[in-house]
Amino acid sequence: MSELVFFSGTMDCGKSTLALQIGHNRSARGLQGVIFTRDDRAGEGKLSSRLGLVTEAVEAAPGMDLYGYLVDQMSRGRRVDYVIVDEAQFLAPEQIDQLARVVDDLELDVFAFGITTDFRTKLFPGSQRLIELADRVETLQVEAMCWCGARATHNARTVDGEMVVEGEQVVVGDVDRLAGEVGYEVLCRRHHRRRMTSAAARAAALSPDVLPVIST
């Protein structure tokens, strides 16, 4: 029986890698799928992993009818056995409803991958709708780590290494960006609450205020 499955986790927990693996496994068995993505780090119409793997995908643009796209493709004779959706948090709630319809009416498995909350710890609308509609919600077992070594549970947005908590919900960026650019970092709850990024921690460690005093 077909299912809508939501694989969720923080950044750096291997969501895109698993999406690529699921596609590879099904392709090896002779199955054919459609991959949707939105605002991937590798550019439009790409599904990429931080491990360096990249494949072509269909850009799920705002306002795009995902159900209608699949029906059109199948009516033209294209075989579709399953659907993969990466960066699903960026989809609109109505597009998540369309994915549920793909499962129910077209009887295709849909595997959606995305982060649950934004840099303000608020649910993305797409992720919220997936939690509401999915047949299964799977938390990925590869745990991302905060700079302190604890399990990372929150996504932080940074500018010049400093954490910010205001701004638009969706701003495309990535880890390890250059100074002045928007970047992201995964943190444990304690350090997210304290706005203590890895850069801030390094700066604090080098501060003269915390260095040992040597008497002369």
Q: Is 87 a catalytic residue?
A: yes
Residue 95 contacts residue 126 (beta carbons within 8 Å): yes
Residue 206 contacts residue 179 (beta carbons within 8 Å): no
The Cα-based distances of 65 to 99, 102, 115, 197 in angstroms read: 9, 11, 22, 39
Catalytic residue among 3, 87, 107, 138: 87
**Number of residues that this document lists for the chain:** 216
Residue 166 contacts residue 126 (beta carbons within 8 Å): no
The Cα-based distances of 48 to 18, 20, 110, 208 in angstroms read: 11, 8, 18, 42
Question: Within 13 Å, how many C-alpha atoms sit on residue 51's CB side?
Answer: 11
Strand pairing class (162-164; 4-8): unpaired
**Which residues are marked as active site?**
87
